[in-house]
Amino acid sequence: METKKYTQVGTFSIISIGSALILCIVIMIITGLNDLAPVGIMGFVVMTLLICLLIFYKLTITIDNTYIRFSLGTGLIAKKYLISDIQSCKSVSNNLIYGIGIRKIPKGWLYNVSGLKAIEIKFKNSKSVIRIGTDHPDEIAGIISKMIKADQSGSGMDYKDKTAFRLVWIIMAITLLIPVILILIGNRDPGITLSKPGLKISGMYGLTINYSDIKQLDTLSTLPRIQMRTNGYAFGKSLKGNFRLQNNENAKLFITKRVPPYILIRTDDLNVYLNFKESKKTVDLFKTMTKVRKE
């Protein structure tokens, strides 16, 4: 039999993933590319969307004398099954709630990139079914049904490409995990180390300040209005890095918003605001700094 190939363009996947990708890029441009943490997070989101787009922009089904094969996108995810191991193949319409992509469904798995039409394959030695999305379900089901009746020989499903399938999921999991780690790190209280020479703030955007350089050490009940972030991290209530405050004052913040008081440290060329998630810790730090500075 002449090899037959059927390709379905993932119109829905391209539109939905492409729109999300464009939105992320626009957000990155609007918010600026100088903020390391947000750019890193959005960069990983963009990378994830690009991987999804490369996987789900099309689905190709190929049928020859021995196998039915299908591949997603560039072929990173691909599977093939022996015709002789197939018990039946029929045209089906997927439930709308199954969605698009790679899904666990009742009795088996669904692979699709657009639309609701698919073929459903049942195997002789397995209760699990496979549904593969296509624009030509009746034609493909008819061809495979005729081949099943011809009782061609074979030896079972081929799972050689499981490694590639797992690899994609590992890459996607890592890509999604890294932004979460960045957020968790960014939302932690700053690490403070006090010594006789000065104060060391460790972690994201950390620095060291000598007591001899401090011109003003005070506490504030309210934080000055923030005009813009110049090179810093801002997520939820956490602000870290370089910001521009009212009256064009440049400052380095290590702040959890709406948790006063805030410690203000001024030097000749630096303005630092810091606090902790617990007000008592902020007050204790200020008292300790004041005491150590006087010694």
pLDDT at residue number 143: 93
159 pairs with which residues across the strands? Answer: none
Q: Would you state the pLDDT for residue 155?
A: 43
Question: CA–CA separation, 165 vs 77, rounded Å?
Answer: 5
Which residue(s) pair with 70 in the sheet? Answer: 61, 79
How many angstroms separate the most distant Cα atoms in the chain?
95
- Extract the tokens encoding 148: 């099943």
| Segments of the chain scoring below 50 in pLDDT | 152-160
pLDDT at 158: 45
* Per-residue confidence (pLDDT) for residue 232, from 0 to 100: 84
- Please report the pLDDT score of residue 159 as a whole number: 45
Q: Is the peptide bond before 261 cis (omega within 30 degrees of 0)?
A: yes
Predicted confidence at residue 164, as pLDDT, reads 60
Query: Domain map of the chain by residue range?
Result: 4-178, 191-294
pLDDT reported for residue 46: 86
Between the alpha carbon of residue 167 and those of residues 161, 164, 171, 174, the distances in Å are 10, 5, 6, 11
